[in-house]
Chains A and B, each alone.
Chain A
Amino acid sequence: MNETDLAGPILFCVALGATLLLAGKVQFGYIYGMSGIGCLGIYALLNLMSSSGVSYGCVASVLGYCLLPMVILSGSAVFFSLQGMIGTVLALVIIVWCSLSASKIFISALDMEGQQLLVAYPCALLYGLFALLTVF
């Protein structure tokens, strides 16, 4: 996983901002800021937890690609308001989906068996922040 492909992640961030724009929220700054700082946090954590290091580009790439379900969530926010029971449940499902897939890629790339949930929890917090941005 030495290839850092940032084209996809940047596209997904812009897509998230665009779908939020369709729902009436202009929050590009928050998205970029949270992505950058969140990637930094996960980068620090993964370097501490894995025996082989990881580069920042790799972390940004994986987190960006796993942001795609969040784009689906914000796309659905255009059609119905997420501030109800359905919206909450959907947001929780999407958060779990994003964080499990991101942690799965991380542990398989960095050979960290038995630590998937430990990596998934901080990713879930990060994607939870994105979901808060989408829902409220």
Chain B
Amino acid sequence: MAAVDDLQFEEFGDVATSLAANPDATTINIEGPGETPKRLGPPRGSGREEDDELLGNDDSDKTELLAGQKKSSPFWTFEYYQTFFDVDTYQVFDRIKGSLLPIPGKNFVRLYIRSNPDLYGPFWICATLVFAIAISGNLSNFLIHLGEKTYHYVPEFRKVSIAATIIYAYAWLVPFALWGFLLWRNSKVMNIVSYSFLEIVCVYGYSLFIYIPTAILWIIPQKAVRWILVMMALGISGSVLAMTFWPAVREDNRRVALATIVTIVLLHTLLSVGCLAYFFDAPELDHLPTTAVVPNQTVVAAKSS
């Protein structure tokens, strides 16, 4: 295809030759010097089309390309969803880092997502979280009841499916409800900031990342430690969410805005406390005497025999 041949930005090594072949390419560099290193990276569909436009290449190829881009594929093909997986490793790491370090005044969506919401991060973070919670829950139950003769440990695989349902429902239904709510308020009050559905899904997905190490640390059977972890994780991810959505509701009625933010944080709290309560048995104090008694009995039995 001639269109593919014209796209010489694809190869790392060929950039020099393509710049030499297309003297028009220098105009791109002047207009966007900061963007060029990014463009030199992996070739992406939308970037290619913009470059072609600026290059002023063969008109027929350009229109053909633009027409191809505008034609949206039906939603049951892979091509429809390909734009949502258009991320590199460093971008995913950047977004994860952004969700871990909430800086007041810095909007997660504005700073990291920048009109390129991806589904890779939310999907795999939720999957990892499901496995982390299920595995740590089983492990912590095993460790708590270790040494008890009356307790027979059975790995509960049920918990994986329950965890999966809860977390994926939270990661998709709550953004959907929030998006619908923001849309409704936008029709009443003109807001400067409005988020698309996928951007909200993205924020929620990446904000769940902090719970992965938290779930692993929840294995420690100390109530105080667990609750401190809950507070910390809730603080970080709750503040990321609050700071993301505050600009979106700021222009609204004061009470509605506050109620929205409080609801977001409350639902987040419900998720974390619910996971802690359901998947992790409480390390009750009456377990300790039984573990102390049992070794004594075995020692006495050994002595008497």
Contact = CB atoms under 8 A, between A and B. Distances in A.
Contacts, number: 42
B87 A118 contact: yes
A115 to B, nearest CB: 6
Contacts of B235: none
A114 B90 contact: yes
Interface in B116-156: 120, 124, 127, 131
A118 B42 contact: no
Contacts of B87: 115, 118
Contact of B89 (A44, A51, A53, A117): A117
A51 B78 contact: no
Contacts of A47: 78, 82
A83 B42 CA distance: 42
Contacts of B31: none
B227 interface: no
- Per DSSP, chain B at the interface is helix
Contacts of A111: 10
B284 interface: no
A51 B92 contact: no
A126 to B, nearest CB: 12
Q: Name which of B10, B85, B124, B127 has the most chain A CB atoms within 10 A of its CB.
A: B85
B43 interface: yes
B42 A114 contact: yes
Contact of A113 (B42, B84, B120, B124): B42
Contacts of B180: none
Contacts of B43: 51
A133 interface: no
B163 to A, nearest CB: 15
B41 A122 contact: no
B45 interface: yes
- Interface centre among B12, B120, B127, by most chain A C-beta atoms within 10 angstroms, is B120
A127 to B, nearest CB: 14
A116 B92 CA distance: 12
B136 to A, nearest CB: 16
A111 B11 CA distance: 9
Contacts of B81: 48
Interface in B46-87: 78, 81-82, 84-85, 87
A30 interface: no
A121 interface: yes
Contact of A115 (B10, B88, B124): B88
A113 B41 contact: yes
Given A48-B82, A115-B89, A121 B124 contact: yes
A51 B43 CA distance: 9
A68 interface: no
Contacts of B82: 47-49, 51
Most chain B CB neighbours (cut-off 10 Å) among A44, A45, A48, A112: A48
Contacts of A115: 42, 87-89
Interface in A44-59: 44-45, 47-49, 51, 53
Contact of B124 (A44, A51, A112, A122): A122
Given A51-B43, A51-B45, A51-B82, A114 B124 contact: no
Given A47-B78, A113-B42, A125-B127, 14 more contacts: A44-B78, A47-B82, A48-B82, A51-B82, A111-B10, A112-B42, A113-B41, A114-B42, A114-B89, A115-B42, A115-B88, A118-B87, A118-B88, A118-B89
12 contacts: A47-B82, A48-B82, A48-B85, A49-B82, A51-B82, A112-B42, A114-B88, A114-B90, A115-B88, A118-B87, A118-B89, A125-B127
Q: Can you list the 6 inter-chain pairs with the closest CB atoms, starting with the nearest?
A: A114-B88, A47-B78, A117-B89, A48-B85, A49-B85, A113-B42
